[in-house]
Structure 1
Amino acid sequence: MKAVIMAGGFGTRLKPLTNNLPKPMVPIVNKPIMAHTIKLLKHHRFDQIVALLYYQPEKISTYFKDGSAFGVKIDYVKAEDDFGTAGSVKNAQELLDERFLVISGDVLTDFNLTDALRFHQEKGSIATILLTHVSNPLPFGVVITDNEGKIERFLEKPSWGQVFSDTVNTGIYLFEPEVLDYIPPKTEFDFSKDLFPLLMSKGKPLYGYVAKGYWQDIGGLKQYQSVNLDCLEEAVHVEIEGKKQDNAWIGENCIIGKNVIFDKQVVIGKNCIIKDNVFLSRSVIGDNCFIGENCEIRDSILWHHVKLGRSVKLLSDVIANDTRIGNEAYFEDNVFVSDHCVIGNRAVITANVRIWPRKDVEEGAVLSTSLIWGERWLRELFTNSRVTGIINAEVSPEFGAKLGAAFGAYLGKGNYVATSRDSSEAARMINRALICGFMSTGVNVGDLRTMPIPIVRYALRSGQEKGGVHVRQSPRDE
């Protein structure tokens, strides 16, 4: 039987993890989401798969190839543009000449698809939506059916005032091939907003099947963490590689040191080295990882080729591929580090920080805001009577106002200070923020505006000002 995997999503809400990786390739217990989906499809005899690709398609096709290694046959269809959910499937119509299933590439489920198919056949449905019950239906399409399962009403992503059911659309569908005739070609067309209302208006048999089992939409970083932990707790039926030893699944060719504690469930990938006195609890360690001695890792997910120095502490964090973390680094909860980053010795990453790919955090630095722009986060901004940093990252208008207020408080109310800047827009912005900070403490400000530094220095020597600030963009800035 045939199945379509919607694998073209950008994974915007999973950034920075998906900056260099399409969403279906994000690992769940060391396997791409899409690999778990293919395993489920094959188990229920959907062995002819059409993968709809859009964002970074080569990373998916290179990994899965023709599907033979996974026991299925995979055809790839690359979209020319974003035609919506239904429009994307229409693009593969020539491959869908029989009944087929559609499943999103960013969900993890263990639904019994065979039972759903049987329901679809018994009802003579042209389209069947697999449904499930959730506690918060707001992010999903809400559906209500009659006693026979025929859909009477649905609403896409309602507000609380519009919620009329906790039964939601899972994004898994069973279709007869003639459904595709109702979808216009090369046009943005959505299943929930366009196709299903059209079928209902034409009186076509449209049914909803309430499936039993686990289902989770991996829509954001929190959901990504919880899905991995659900797998560890065996709340969902997925295949976890490795030999089960007490609380741990340990991959082949691993070296485990002395006094390593596996508290609760842990997955260790292939070819890993875990040094002495390491504490691991409810965590996933990818392939080819190195964990230094005395590390403590709780509720965290490490992707592949991650290296941790000694005495590193992680709490509810996600570290992507090829990242190196120095000795005694400390991560608070919900930190997400993208690939190829370097975190220096004794660095502290505070809660809820996101670090984009290929960033360096200097030894001993404290990172309390997300690191998106620039390449490095320095240990200190104050050096040799200067404050140097990346505009809008390390040196923001908020920082400028605080700096001005601190300097003003030091000078004292009623004193005078001079400010000046170069002609860049960035310098103008920070200069204005500094002025606001000075004035908030009662300091009088003489703004010299655009002025060369030598003239500003001369003005400070000959005037009544107690201090001065000059803001400029680095001449080496590109």
Structure 2
Amino acid sequence: MDYFGDGVDRGLQISYALEEKPLGTAGSVRHAVLDLGEAILVVSGDLLFSIDFGSAINFHRRKGALVTMLLLPYHAEPWGLGIAALDRDGRVLRYLEKPAGPQDIFSRLINTGIYILEPEALTLIPPSTFFDFSRDLFPLLLNKALPFFGYVTEGYWSDLGTLELYRQAHEQVFAGNGGVLIPAGEIAPRVWAEEEIKIAPGAVLRPPLFLGARSCLEEGAAAGPATVIGAGTVLGAGASVVRSILGQDNRIGEKTVLADALLADANIIEKHCCLQEGVVLGGYCQVSAHSTLRRNVKVWPHHHLPSHTFLEGVTLAGEPEG
């Protein structure tokens, strides 16, 4: 909500619906849609894609579908994904969420998490009740033999549902795959920067690299390759950030090294620290000077680590004490 606001500056009108209790993927859509007068397009929020929605909507209308699921041919094992089988007309014959083993794989068409629903489909979702698309609505459509279709798209699609997939998606964007455009100008080959950045003398930029608005590299700092520096983030003198993704308003101290790290917003990493090999920090953490975090350390938000901390392969979860 903070990022998009009401959408006016993007030529949009955006409203938000908040859940007081979890309602599931379908129940939350039913809760959010106030006007049942027209078909809706549902897009899961943890996706990166470049797909022609116009063709999918035309298919949906042409088939007289109640629900259309956008599907994608998938050439790897579809573990953790939904799969569907279609007849020659595109009607869904069978659907399975997350195959348990090779014996369950009857199709290589995966569910993209993007759907077109007619108003009548929304009436099948009970209000104020936990209800899931894959586990509740789709079986209901199949059991009632309602017009449930699958549209096969060839567009670019990537799930962002795990940290590793999130990292891979950044690599794909840097590689220019999928037609996803980086919304910034190039200040050097494959170095993209938004407005009001500050780069001190002696700072080093290694492509591919993205610098968010108002980010700052102090003298001798180095960023990249394969790195995102979020808006307002500051790299102190001599700091080095490699193959890492940093959110907004982080402060990276003097001669601190980050390699293969992922930081959310507003973390403070003091001087002479080393975070490497898959370290993840939630927002608003503080890592005090001369600390080392390595080998997939994960720290939930608001934790404060004292100076000379050494952590390896652990997770600090929950709210910190005090």
**TM-score of the two chains, using structure 2 as the length reference:** 0.90
Q: Summarize the Cα distance change of 1:69–1:239 in structure 2 as closer, same or farther, 3 Å threshold.
A: farther
Deviation of 1:173 (Å): 0.5
Per-residue CA deviation, residues 111-165 of structure 1 (Å, 9 max, x unaligned), is 1111111111222212110011332312111111123222111111111221112
Q: 2:200 aligns with which of 247, 257, 260?
A: 257
Matches within 5 A, 1:41-190: 60=1, 62-134=2-74, 135-160=76-101, 161-190=103-132
Question: Distance in 2 between the 1:309 and 1:79 partners?
Answer: 39
Per-residue CA deviation, residues 405-425 of structure 1 (Å, 9 max, x unaligned), is xxxxxxxxxxxxxxxxxxxxx
Amino acid at match of 1:294: G
Per-residue CA deviation, residues 160-207 of structure 1 (Å, 9 max, x unaligned), is 221112211111111121112322333332222222222223332211
Q: Mark the runs of 5 or more structure 2 residues left unpaired by the alignment.
A: none
Question: Distance in 2 between the 1:342 and 1:82 partners?
Answer: 31
Asked whether the 8 Å contact 1:112–1:212 carries over to 2, the reply is no
Question: Distance in 1 between the 2:318 and 2:99 partners?
Answer: 36
Per-residue CA deviation, residues 52-80 of structure 1 (Å, 9 max, x unaligned), is xxxxxxxx2x5433321222112323334
Structure 2 partner of 1:217: 159
Q: 1:365 aligns with which of 288, 309, 318?
A: 309
Amino acid at match of 2:131: F
Q: 2:217 aligns with which of 262, 271, 274?
A: 274
Percent of aligned positions that are identical: 32
Deviation of 1:212 (Å): 1.7
Moved more, 219-228 or 110-119: 219-228
**Is the radius of gyration larger for structure 1 or structure 2?**
1
Question: Distance in 1 between the 2:150 and 2:21 partners?
Answer: 30
Deviation of 1:317 (Å): 0.5
Question: Distance in 1 between the 2:150 and 2:167 partners?
Answer: 29
Deviation of 1:320 (Å): 2.0
Q: Mark the runs of 5 or more structure 1 residues left unpaired by the alignment.
A: 1-59, 377-477
Asked whether the 8 Å contact 1:86–1:191 carries over to 2, the reply is yes
Asked whether the 8 Å contact 1:229–1:283 carries over to 2, the reply is no
Deviation of 1:283 (Å): 0.4
Amino acid at match of 1:267: F
Amino acid at match of 1:142: I
Structure 2 partner of 1:296: 240
Asked whether the 8 Å contact 1:229–1:299 carries over to 2, the reply is no
Q: Summarize the Cα distance change of 1:96–1:64 in structure 2 as closer, same or farther, 3 Å threshold.
A: farther
Amino acid at match of 1:77: A
Question: Distance in 2 between the 1:321 and 1:185 partners?
Answer: 35
Structure 1 partner of 2:249: 305
Question: Distance in 2 between the 1:181 and 1:173 partners?
Answer: 16
Per-residue CA deviation, residues 443-465 of structure 1 (Å, 9 max, x unaligned), is xxxxxxxxxxxxxxxxxxxxxxx
Amino acid at match of 1:207: F
Aligned pair count reads 317
Question: Distance in 2 between the 1:304 and 1:188 partners?
Answer: 34
Deviation of 1:308 (Å): 1.3
**What's the secondary structure of 1:188's corresponding residue?**
coil
Question: Distance in 1 between the 2:146 and 2:209 partners?
Answer: 49
Structure 2 partner of 1:195: 137
Question: Distance in 2 between the 1:80 and 1:337 partners?
Answer: 27
Amino acid at match of 1:137: P
Q: 1:240 aligns with which of 182, 191, 194?
A: 182
Per-residue CA deviation, residues 386-430 of structure 1 (Å, 9 max, x unaligned), is xxxxxxxxxxxxxxxxxxxxxxxxxxxxxxxxxxxxxxxxxxxxx
Q: Does 1:344 align with 2:288?
A: yes
Amino acid at match of 1:349: L
Question: Distance in 1 between the 2:134 and 2:302 partners?
Answer: 39
If each structure's helix is expressed as a fraction of its own residues, which one has the higher value? 1
**TM-score of the two chains, using structure 1 as the length reference:** 0.62
Amino acid at match of 1:277: G
Question: Distance in 1 between the 2:32 and 2:319 partners?
Answer: 41
Q: Summarize the Cα distance change of 1:203–1:83 in structure 2 as closer, same or farther, 3 Å threshold.
A: same
Which structure exhibits the higher relative contact order, with contacts defined as CA atoms closer than 8 Å and separated by 6 or more residues? 2
Q: Summarize the Cα distance change of 1:325–1:205 in structure 2 as closer, same or farther, 3 Å threshold.
A: same
Deviation of 1:248 (Å): 0.7
CA RMSD, aligned part only?
2.1
Asked whether the 8 Å contact 2:302–2:319 carries over to 1, the reply is no
Asked whether the 8 Å contact 2:78–2:108 carries over to 1, the reply is yes
